[in-house]
A and B are shown apart, each in its own frame.
Chain A
């Protein structure tokens, strides 16, 4: 996983609440392999492109300077619904590395952390204010500092956010999740022994 330390970049306001993962990556694109040249077009495909593949110019991500957004500022309940990780790959392939919202779907939140995309929870009034500033100053940049857990707004106002300590450490160091777990291999082995002895019916499908 690519490390995440600080990120400064253009932020695009997405004013839609309850953006489910089906809107982020329409289901038909779940089968596209990662790295496919089509991938950058998947994010918000039905809002960005007509059925014939032409761009819908009114959609914010099709407008300059938001085509180069590195940060998405959304509303509440971003990323609910399907567990598809393709939604995260779509965000990354577009070029964004962070999403700021007032709440997230649990599975998508974890999927973001697994891929080095930072999900930032701010208060609802804060995301509303940030989006308003971004609309008023198109191309304004935000700076996210994971170490200090801060977002610096276009007006230099600094917002604090919470992130759980383990995820923070993994992101800062670009730590591989499997490598981290394998440090606990002896704990896993002794758990398995105990689990099997106490409940073979759990451990062994169809145990007799």
Chain B
């Protein structure tokens, strides 16, 4: 028994430098940052510290960059808001001065850190990767340990290339079977969060196992791992396999030649041993998962599109009852109404969860079935995805259907760059958080897959994408 290990334990053990009581000092192979890392750079300067291994730090301008194509084409000085412009310029200065890898607003490799990182081969199997962003869990889809950290821990990594951690427990989430018609990776992860709860993965590293994930492409797997943090998970790993190796091979920072062969040989030893024991086991049947949407103000409120808004009276406890009442009030929803009748003001297709090429293809497939009745934005996750989508003619499909084709960045997911909902506005969004005010003060967010978001744009309400695809709508 002692020799069987989970994938998480294998990778963890390969990064242990030393142990002090209940804390382990781990070596960090890659560190990812963005404009929000200003507090880290401020402290480096204040304390006169230098970066230990600049070659392992990758900096992306994504959270604050404009996605309006006109402003984007005009360059950084065209950003109208002085403070936002200052954040973009500050990262460029800090990154250039400290000699780390930098992908700025004008760079052809620019993109959201969790989209461009894997594209560049920065995230590969077997590594320990820490990012200055909670959705760093995304990279675990490639079979590594990746997690987000705050400014102080990123500071510590920059100065020492290490991080102290208490070892989390492990949770295996198994989904077997085939996904139904119109059901995507986003629906799977929303269904998982609904089952285990918003904090259900707290203190655990999650591993996604089962045929549903093995059959997914890398892009789909990244959508799943991305939202591990929405269940409170410390990380979200998926075992590396041929799909992973094919995705990684040939990318800029991927191993090459002899190192590639050595890497693949090592990566094949990483999957959890057959008799490895997880602290917690959860399983779902893929066939039970429908196109899914959240009705409330945390991702746990995910329900099938065919469901109705819950009533506080159905709550299992007084505590939950108060929570449902509060969410209904904020979301301005009535108990018992059909989720598919909820009117939508704006559609956002983008974010580190759902802005990859397959997401855009899925949305375009639906967009072909009609015209957008409401403002609907498509924000690709990186310049390279934007270029690829344009080469495939997806931008033309979107434009013909009345969708707006924009420049890459985090945009309306995090509402930092000026893209935001107005108070009371309601979005169908492919992003990862529906917290109060997340997309702008007073904004209301319903989380959905790209296909469901495109369907909402055509219908003007949340709607079952399957009826549109079948031509019933």
Chain A positions within 8 Å of B, measured between CB atoms, are 16-18, 20, 22-23, 26-28, 30-31, 33-34, 46, 51, 76-77, 80-86, 88-89, 103-108, 110-111, 114-115, 164-166, 177-178, 181-182, 184, 187-188, 191-192, 195, 199-208
Given contacts A188-B162, A199-B126, A206-B254, contact A85 B441 (CB under 8 A): no
Contact B122 A205 (CB under 8 A): yes
Residue B415 interfacial (CB < 8 Å): yes
A80 is contacted by which of B14, B122, B124, B232 (Cβ under 8 Å)? B232
Contact B256 A206 (CB under 8 A): yes
Given known contacts A178-B156, A192-B161, what 10 new A-B pairs fall within 8 Å (CB)? A17-B323, A31-B416, A34-B42, A106-B203, A108-B150, A166-B164, A188-B17, A188-B162, A195-B15, A205-B121
Query: In the complex, A188 Cα to B24 Cα: how many Å?
Result: 12
Given contacts A106-B203, A106-B234, contact A199 B266 (CB under 8 A): yes
Contact flags B243-255 to A (C-beta < 8 A → 1, else 0) = 0000000001111
Distance between A204 CB and nearest chain B CB, rounded to angstroms: 8
Contact A201 B263 (CB under 8 A): yes
B435: A residues at CB distance < 8 A: 20, 22-23, 81
Distance between A45 CB and nearest chain B CB, rounded to angstroms: 9
Closest residue of chain B to A169 (Cβ to Cβ) is B21
A188: B residues at CB distance < 8 A: 17, 25, 27, 160-162
A164: B residues at CB distance < 8 A: 21-23, 166
Given contacts A181-B162, A187-B17, A205-B30, contact A77 B232 (CB under 8 A): yes
B124: A residues at CB distance < 8 A: 201-202
Given contacts A22-B435, A181-B164, A207-B255, contact A105 B232 (CB under 8 A): yes
A77 is contacted by which of B198, B259, B433, B437 (Cβ under 8 Å)? B198
A106: B residues at CB distance < 8 A: 168, 202-203, 232, 234
Query: In the complex, A16 Cα to B325 Cα: how many Å?
Result: 12
Contact A201 B259 (CB under 8 A): yes
Which of B127-135, B398-406, B447-455 interfaces with chain A?
B127-135
Closest residue of chain A to B155 (Cβ to Cβ) is A178
Closest residue of chain A to B127 (Cβ to Cβ) is A202
Contact A205 B253 (CB under 8 A): yes
Query: In the complex, A52 Cα to B283 Cα: how many Å?
Result: 48
B323: A residues at CB distance < 8 A: 17-18
Distance between B210 CB and nearest chain A CB, rounded to angstroms: 25
Query: In the complex, A82 Cα to B275 Cα: how many Å?
Result: 35
Contact B199 A77 (CB under 8 A): yes
Supply 13 A–B pairs (Cβ within 8 Å), ascending by A: A18-B199, A20-B298, A27-B416, A31-B86, A33-B38, A77-B202, A82-B133, A178-B160, A187-B17, A188-B161, A195-B15, A201-B266, A208-B258
Contact B198 A80 (CB under 8 A): yes
A77: B residues at CB distance < 8 A: 198-199, 202, 232
Closest residue of chain A to B11 (Cβ to Cβ) is A202
Contact B27 A178 (CB under 8 A): no
Give the interface size class of chain B.
35 or more
Residue B149 interfacial (CB < 8 Å): yes
Contact A165 B22 (CB under 8 A): yes
A30: B residues at CB distance < 8 A: 36, 416
Within 1-35 of B, Cβ neighbours of A (below 8 Å) are at 14-15, 17-18, 20-23, 25, 27, 29-30, 35
Closest residue of chain B to A184 (Cβ to Cβ) is B18
Distance between A8 CB and nearest chain B CB, rounded to angstroms: 26
B262: A residues at CB distance < 8 A: 199-201
Closest residue of chain A to B197 (Cβ to Cβ) is A77
Given contacts A105-B232, A166-B22, A201-B259, contact A23 B152 (CB under 8 A): no
Query: In the complex, A85 Cα to B151 Cα: how many Å?
Result: 6
A201 is contacted by which of B83, B198, B255 (Cβ under 8 Å)? B255
Residue B55 interfacial (CB < 8 Å): yes
Given contacts A46-B436, A164-B23, contact A85 B39 (CB under 8 A): yes
A200 is contacted by which of B84, B133, B150, B259 (Cβ under 8 Å)? B259
Distance between B9 CB and nearest chain A CB, rounded to angstroms: 17
Residue B381 interfacial (CB < 8 Å): no
B86: A residues at CB distance < 8 A: 31
Query: In the complex, A199 Cα to B35 Cα: how many Å?
Result: 31
Residue B159 interfacial (CB < 8 Å): yes
Closest residue of chain B to A192 (Cβ to Cβ) is B27
Query: In the complex, A47 Cα to B288 Cα: how many Å?
Result: 39
Closest residue of chain A to B323 (Cβ to Cβ) is A17
Residue B319 interfacial (CB < 8 Å): yes
Residue B143 interfacial (CB < 8 Å): no
Residue B177 interfacial (CB < 8 Å): no
Contact A76 B36 (CB under 8 A): no
Contact flags B41-52 to A (C-beta < 8 A → 1, else 0) = 010000001000
Query: In the complex, A69 Cα to B258 Cα: how many Å?
Result: 61
Residue B56 interfacial (CB < 8 Å): yes
Contact B25 A181 (CB under 8 A): yes
CB-CB nearest 7 A-B residue pairs: A201-B255, A114-B152, A85-B150, A111-B150, A85-B151, A205-B253, A201-B263
